Amino acid sequence: MTYRVCFVCTGNICRSPMAEVVFRARVAEAGLEDLIEVDSAGTGGWHEGDGADPRTVAVLEGNGYAVGHTARQFQPSWFSRLDLVVALDAGHLGALRRLAPTEQDARKVRLLRSYDPSAGDDLDVPDPYYGGVDGFEECLEMVEAASAGLLAAVRKDVEGSAA
């Protein structure tokens, strides 16, 4: 059975595609690509059909990640097929939980940085869109730092459901 993870930010051109690309790489490194499906979306549809922000692409490619992305908007109907919905900040967390058709679906929504033990109390990944490339680099650092803990949690869920 495939475990499905979807990362969600505002427009699906900066943070969530970055998280998708990084996490997909971690899943592949772990040899779990046949068991875990990784995707992303935005809470809004302003950028639907667009590629990732050029700064996102540059930072990812500069750090050895392959990027292929088309932005889309998260749909409430997706909850039924997703196992985990990963929000990039508290605003997304609240919006997604309000969209959830059931309480069980709302419990599927988690903050990405909650999987990073060094994050402390600040669990938001700041939106780099209105700043320079340094904000995108900081975003990548936060995403990479949380990805190991997220992979461990997802692996535990996958192994638990296979038992």
Q: Is 107 a catalytic residue?
A: no
Instruction: Determine which one of 9, 14, 24, 53 is catalytic.
Output: 9
Q: What is the largest CA-CA distance in the chain?
A: 47
- AA letter at 29: E
Q: Is 83 a catalytic residue?
A: no
What residues contact 62, with CB distance under 8 A and at least 6 apart? Answer: none
Q: Is 113 exposed, middle or buried (0-12, 13-18, 19+ CB in 10 A)?
A: buried
Instruction: Determine which one of 26, 50, 72, 127 is catalytic.
Output: 127
Contact 90, 121 (CB under 8 A): no
Q: Is 9 a catalytic residue?
A: yes
Instruction: Determine which one of 6, 15, 24, 116 is catalytic.
Output: 15
Active site residues: 9, 15, 127
